[in-house]
Amino acid sequence: MNFSDRLGKAIKEKNNPSVLGLDPKLEYIPESIKEKCRQQVDNAFQAAARSILEFNKRLIDATCDIIPAIKPQVAYYEMYGIEGLWALEETIAYGRQKGLIVIADGKRNDIGPTAEAYSMAFLGKTDIFGKACRAFNADALTVNAYLGIDGIKPFIGDCMNENKGIFVLVKTSNPSSGQLQDMKLEDGRRVYEMMADLVREWGEPLIGENGYSSIGAVVGATYPEQLKELRKRMPNAWILVPGYGAQGGTAQDVAHAFDKNGLGAIVNASRSLMCAYKLERWKGQFTHEEFAEAARAEAIRMRDDILSAL
């Protein structure tokens, strides 16, 4: 089954278009986990990586019956070096083992041959001494298309051959996303609209049975008007929507990303799930040690919040 249909099936089974963003920082992790890991190993990077992995596993365990997908943000693993990347690899494997769709958020980009290497790393296979091996083995990857189609083609190849997916940055959630993305072109389109047109075109050969393509787009919840416009402009693209929760996007904002049947989008929340125990909303109900239970409560609330707005 292609990525788009796998994603659609997972969302329908759980009746939830949410994604658990796993952007773990050590400060989010309770002392008990960190203390245990520091006693197990001397090396600080190793202890950090073990702490992150246990934190992630407990979040996955607490939410995997409710949430269809996880999105580890690669940067938060790279900052802990190769040990951190070990935690990423293990997190991806654990998520997949629990039946979750795993979206590696790496925003990778480069010229053709190098994009091919990135695609092998996250979506495809690497030939090692004649044997096809998988490095990070995610289901999908976020990519940046500043370099145009030949930096995207290798990923599309793995989407086709390996039933994987990509989400191309179109309109990002950050305050300065307009600096380039909102610039108006001579032909009247804005840069993000032009990017949306490319995503639509690139995705056409990969449309699944549910009408959506394995080539999706990233559009931030923090720009609800553009989200509305882009939903129409890319009728076959899954929209991965960051910016709900901690970044300020509401259920009403993200509702624009969905079609009439409540399909076509997935909404990511990272900090508001990982650190749900800290939210005003749950004040006094969960200790730091109960972060996973808090994440579950918040995941249910988030699901119901989004569904009620559709």
Which residues contact a copy of itself by CB under 8 A? 23, 26, 34, 38, 44-45, 47-48, 73, 75-76, 78-82, 84-86, 89, 107-112, 114-115, 117-118, 120-122, 126-129, 131, 133, 135-136, 144-151, 169, 172-181, 183-186, 191, 194-195, 198, 242
Choose between 10 and 74: whose C-beta lies nearer to a copy of itself: 74
Burial of 111 (0-12, 13-18, 19+ CB in 10 A): exposed
Choose between 62 and 170: whose C-beta lies nearer to a copy of itself: 170
Choose between 200 and 296: whose C-beta lies nearer to a copy of itself: 200
Query: Which residue in 9, 36, 57, 107 is the catalytic one?
Result: 107
Distance of alpha carbon 149 from alpha carbon 88, whole angstroms: 28
Q: Report in angstroms how near the CB of residue 224 gets to a copy of itself at its nearest.
A: 17
Q: Report in angstroms how near the CB of residue 135 gets to a copy of itself at its nearest.
A: 4
The pair phi, psi for residue 247, each rounded to 5°, is -80, -5
Burial of 270 (0-12, 13-18, 19+ CB in 10 A): buried
Residue 286's contacts (CB-CB under 8 Å, 6 or more residues apart) are: 276, 277, 293, 294, 297
Q: Report in angstroms how near the CB of residue 39 gets to a copy of itself at its nearest.
A: 12
Specify the 3-state DSSP secondary structure of 171.
strand
> How many residues comprise the chain?
310
Q: Report in angstroms how near the CB of residue 310 gets to a copy of itself at its nearest.
A: 26
Six token digits for residue 32: 């008990």
Tell me the three-class secondary structure of 242-264, residue by residue: CCECCCCECHHHHHCCCCCCCCC
Choose between 80 and 286: whose C-beta lies nearer to a copy of itself: 80
Active site (annotated) includes residue 34: no
* Residue numbers annotated as active site: 107
